[in-house]
């Protein structure tokens, strides 16, 4: 007999015995342990990343002219080390997870192995020591998937996809202390859907990862708590910022795709040194940009963004283009590092440009809209950006303006970028392996 759509869940003893069967319990325990380990990794990685940035600013304190040299050497060494020893480590790490979701049996061993996870963390930290405009969140997603994959050896494709979903989402949740954003990220970015039969194991990993972050770091919000307010007079400005920020996020994706094609061609005559020289050139340019910007573009961009949101200082108009360029160079150089935190900083800088058009009290809200919209433009994941900003700032009242903002940003980005940057880069990974990017195994 067919069940009614609104019927209550079947909780008969037979169903309960099936749900609590030894195989399901073993799976739940594996995911629980994996989630705890991912949370510990995310917290340790966050603290190490803060230390790495502090080392860079200590080295360049009073000697900012060292930044271009440090960038050239650091980018070159990092890209060369990644190419030689950790070939699946360059870039964010999220494209590697998306590609592995398409071809799990073939790509999980090569893209999500322990060696790659170790190299990802070490080289991302090294990049931050050298002042690269990168984040740790994308790498945390990939390493989270690596950790969960170690708990599921010899699995079939369906189980491997579940492992990648749980590990990647738990990594994002632990990195930002945002469990809901981790769930939405799993739905929207990694799989585009949800296997209801396995939701308990996936959710267990995500929530336990967040629980570790809360237990160690406290119930904090990434950028502090900020009211997201708007007035009827300011709505046109908010709409304009949202649309243009999404468009620029799409243009950022186009820039990265173009640079990653152009750089190998420019340096192909250099033979085995081509990777090093291409990355060193990006590092030198990024260092010069940071030098001209007074050091504000180095690292994740978290500190200047937080201070601007708190009203401690204003972001100059040139922060946006400088941070945009520095992040594009770092993302194209072949060094390990993520996009989430730098993209949020770029979006905040773009929103701050329009500060003279609104009441001073609304400037932080305008920056938050720019952050959500620009991240949406880069990733084409509006719901993830929406929930992430709401959780990261402790703000839910402003959803009335954030919801249309991310929708407009998605539309604007689609005008110049057919898919989110992560998916387009994942297609390249699949194409290099000789697989059809639109097919799954």
The span from the CA of 172 to the CA of 422, in Å, is 15
Cα-based distances in Å from 238 to 227, 252, 371? 15, 21, 12
Q: Tell which residue, 209, 199, 200, 197, has the closest CA to residue 169.
A: 209
Residues 193, 254: one domain? Answer: no
The answer to whether the beta carbons of residues 201 and 163 sit under 8 Å apart is no
Residue 121 falls within a domain, yes or no?
Answer: yes
Residues 207, 244: one domain? Answer: no
Residues 259, 188: one domain? Answer: no
Residues 413, 385: one domain? Answer: yes
Residue 333 falls within a domain, yes or no?
Answer: yes
The span from the CA of 360 to the CA of 315, in Å, is 13
Out of 156, 187, 217, a domain closes at 217
Q: In this structure, what CATH number is given to the domain that contains residue 156?
A: 1.10.3080.10
- Please list the pLDDT of the chain residue by residue as tens digits (441 residues): 444 545 545 555 665 556 566 767 777 788 888 888 988 998 899 899 999 999 999 999 999 999 999 999 999 999 999 999 999 999 999 999 999 988 888 888 889 999 999 999 999 999 999 999 999 988 999 999 999 888 776 678 888 888 888 888 888 887 777 777 777 777 777 765 544 455 677 777 877 887 887 777 666 666 666 777 778 888 999 999 999 999 999 999 999 999 999 999 999 888 889 999 999 999 999 999 999 999 999 999 888 988 888 877 888 999 999 999 999 999 999 999 999 899 999 999 999 999 999 998 899 889 999 999 999 999 998 888 888 887 766 666 667 788 899 999 999 999 999 889 999 999 999 998 888 766 666
CA 308 to chain centre: 22
Residues 197, 305: one domain? Answer: no
The span from the CA of 126 to the CA of 52, in Å, is 7
Token digits of residue 310: 């708190």
pLDDT score of 394: 66
- One DSSP character per residue, 188-206 reads IIIISS--GGGHHHHHHHH
Residues 151, 285: one domain? Answer: no
419 three-class SS = coil
- One DSSP character per residue, 268-284 reads GGGGGGHHHHHHHHHHH
Residues 290, 176: one domain? Answer: no
The span from the CA of 67 to the CA of 79, in Å, is 18
Residue 261 falls within a domain, yes or no?
Answer: yes
- Tell whether the torsion through CA atoms of 388, 389, 394 and 398 is positive or negative: negative
Q: What is the dihedral of CA 13, 15, 16, 19, to 10 degrees?
A: 160
Residue 62 falls within a domain, yes or no?
Answer: yes
Phi, psi (5° rounding) for residue 14? -65, -45
Q: Which residues contact 122 (CB under 8 A, 6 or more apart)?
A: none
The answer to whether the beta carbons of residues 279 and 273 sit under 8 Å apart is no
pTM for this model (two decimals) = 0.89
Residues 170, 241: one domain? Answer: no
Q: Which residues contact 301 (CB under 8 A, 6 or more apart)?
A: 133, 323, 341, 342, 344, 345, 346, 348
pLDDT score of 1: 42
Residue 14 falls within a domain, yes or no?
Answer: no
- Tell whether the torsion through CA atoms of 205, 49, 330 and 113 is positive or negative: negative
Residue in the structure block whose two tokens are 């905040």: 348
Residue 229 falls within a domain, yes or no?
Answer: no
pLDDT score of 3: 47
pLDDT score of 162: 82
Token digits of residue 412: 């604007």
pLDDT score of 236: 93
Token digits of residue 65: 């002219």
> Which range of residues forms the domain containing residue 384?
235-430
Residues 171, 305: one domain? Answer: no
CA 327 to chain centre: 13
Q: Tell which residue, 62, 96, 59, has the closest CA to residue 74.
A: 59
CA neighbours within 13 Å on the CB side: how many for 318? Answer: 9
Q: How many domains does the chain have?
A: 2
The answer to whether the beta carbons of residues 409 and 71 sit under 8 Å apart is no
Residues 118, 166: one domain? Answer: yes
Residue 222 falls within a domain, yes or no?
Answer: no
Task: Give the Cα-Cα-Cα angle 118, 145, 99 (nearest 5 degrees).
Answer: 105
- Tell whether the torsion through CA atoms of 53, 58, 60 and 61 is positive or negative: positive
Out of 217, 243, 264, a domain closes at 217
Residue 16 falls within a domain, yes or no?
Answer: no
Residues 164, 240: one domain? Answer: no
pLDDT score of 167: 85
The answer to whether the beta carbons of residues 298 and 290 sit under 8 Å apart is yes
Out of 154, 187, 217, a domain closes at 217
Residues 101, 146: one domain? Answer: yes
């Amino acid at each position: 007999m067919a069940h009614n759509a609104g019927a209550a869940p079947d909780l008969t003893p037979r169903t309960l015995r099936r749900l609590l069967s030894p195989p399901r319990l073993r799976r739940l325990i594996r995911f629980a342990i994996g989630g705890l380990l991912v949370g510990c990794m995310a917290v340790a990685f966050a603290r190490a990343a803060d230390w790495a940035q502090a080392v860079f600013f200590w080295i360049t304190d009073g000697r900012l002219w060292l930044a271009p040299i440090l960038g050239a050497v650091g980018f070159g060494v990092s890209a060369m080390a990644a190419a030689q020893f950790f070939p699946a480590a360059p870039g964010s790490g999220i494209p590697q997870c998306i590609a592995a979701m398409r071809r799990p049996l073939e790509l999980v061993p090569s893209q999500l192995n322990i060696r790659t996870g170790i190299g990802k963390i070490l080289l991302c930290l090294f990049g931050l020591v050298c002042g690269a405009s990168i984040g740790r969140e994308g790498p945390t997603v990939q390493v989270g998937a690596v950790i969960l994959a170690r708990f599921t050896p010899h699995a079939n494709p369906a189980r491997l996809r579940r492992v990648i979903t749980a590990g990647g989402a738990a990594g994002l949740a632990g990195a930002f202390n945002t469990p809901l954003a981790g769930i939405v990220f799993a739905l929207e970015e990694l799989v585009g859907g949800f296997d209801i039969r396995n939701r308990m194991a996936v959710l267990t990993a995500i929530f336990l990862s967040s629980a570790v972050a809360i237990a160690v770091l406290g119930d904090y919000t990434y950028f502090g708590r900020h009211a997201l307010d708007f007035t009827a007079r300011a709505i046109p400005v908010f709409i304009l910022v949202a649309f243009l920020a999404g468009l620029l996020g799409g243009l950022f994706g186009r820039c990265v795709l173009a640079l990653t094609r152009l750089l190998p061609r420019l340096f192909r005559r250099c033979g085995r040194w081509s990777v090093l020289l291409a990355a060193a050139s990006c590092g030198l340019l990024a260092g010069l940009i940071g030098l001209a910007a007074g050091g504000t573009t180095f690292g994740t961009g978290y500190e200047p963004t937080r201070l601007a949101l708190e009203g401690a200082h204003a972001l100059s108009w040139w922060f946006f283009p400088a941070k945009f360029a520095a992040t594009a160079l770092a993302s194209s150089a072949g060094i390990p590092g993520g996009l989430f935190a730098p993209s949020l900083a770029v979006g905040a800088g773009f929103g701050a440009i329009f500060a003279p058009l609104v009441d001073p009290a609304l400037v932080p809200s305008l920056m938050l809209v720019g952050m959500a919209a620009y991240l949406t433009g880069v990733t084409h994941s509006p719901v993830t950006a929406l929930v992430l900003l709401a959780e990261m700032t402790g703000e839910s009242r402003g959803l009335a303006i954030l919801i249309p903002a991310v929708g407009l940003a998605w539309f604007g980005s689609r005008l110049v970028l057919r898919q989110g940057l992560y998916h387009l880069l994942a297609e390249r990974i699949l194409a290099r392996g000789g697989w059809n990017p639109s097919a799954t195994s």
